[in-house]
Amino acid sequence: MIETYYILAVLSLLSAVICDDSQTSLYGTWSSKSNQVFTGPGFYDPVEELLKEPSLPGLSFSFTDDQHFEEAIYQVKANPRDPQCPIAVLIYQHGTYELQDNGTLTLNPIAVDGRQLLSDPCNDNGTSVYSRYNQTEVYKWFTVQVNDYHGVYELQLYQSDGSPMQPLYLAYRPPMMLPTETLNPTNTGSGSQPSGSKQKRSLRSLVRRGLENRHKTNAVKRNESFVSSAWFKWGSLGLIGVGSIAFIIT
């Protein structure tokens, strides 16, 4: 009976470890299935204020442990009436996030730093519209778990009405992001102008150095899964088998 108790205790501990592995923080850079859209200098150049079009549509979110976020969105909407007239939009935002006790996630962007590039080739005479963008985003809740098929961490965000967004997969940890402070401050808005041109030049120099060293980032591309789906599957079967043997013995 005592042996059975210890066996069950070990099973409970191993199960807890597996659960802990699948329930991780938001920390890192997450990208949608296309695996072509990532936050950081590869999407937005704050020095030249340029949005760079990825090869495929998708979205990416990055989160730090000290409650900063960054998002990169590239969406293309087909025109069923005229296939030659798709509408495309690129959006960049960054700022801070709040996580409520009920699981609600709120993204509060730095208003002066958000950017949008809208392309509507059949209505804009071939000239895309580049503008500031500022949109607070609220997600009712989110889940982080190991995707059993891909064997990687998956982030599922649920919009304010409870509808799920497309899943995101962990791509980098630590996250690949631009500096978290205001990148393009102005005299008005939430991002105030730094006192003295020297401070502004220092910030631009910092960002420029970050762009020049983007290939030296300490962000790690997660090509391999944290938890192998095969290991997870066979480990679970093993636990079931041991539990069955323990039950027969008793």
- Contact call for residues 133 and 116 (beta carbons, < 8 A): yes
Sign of the dihedral through C-alpha 191, 196, 197, 199: negative
H helices of the chain, where? Answer: 2-22, 197-212, 229-249
The token duo for 126 is 């071939």
pLDDT tens digit sequence for 124-145: 887 889 999 999 999 999 999 9
> Which pLDDT score is estimated for 83?
80
The sign one gets for the Cα dihedral 193, 197, 202, 205 is positive
> What does the pLDDT read at residue 221?
62
Q: Give the separation between CA 83 and CA 35, rounded to whole angstroms.
A: 25
List of the chain residues with pLDDT < 70:
1-24, 187-250
Task: For residue range 157-201, list pLDDT tens digits in order.
Answer: 999 999 999 999 999 999 999 999 999 987 654 444 444 444 444
Q: How many CB atoms lie within 10 A of CB 224?
A: 8
Query: What is the C-alpha separation between 158 and 142, in angstroms, rounded?
Result: 6
Contacts of residue 238, defined as CB under 8 A and 6 or more positions apart, other chains included, come to none
Contacts of 231 by beta carbon, 8 Å cutoff, 6+ apart: none
Domain residue ranges in the chain: 2-249
- Residue 131 CA from chain centroid, whole number: 23
The pLDDT assigned to 126 comes to: 77
- Written as one letter, the residue type at 189 is G
Q: What is the pLDDT of residue 205?
A: 55
pTM above 0.85, yes or no: no
Residue 27 pLDDT = 96
Identify the residue whose tokens are 């709120």: 106
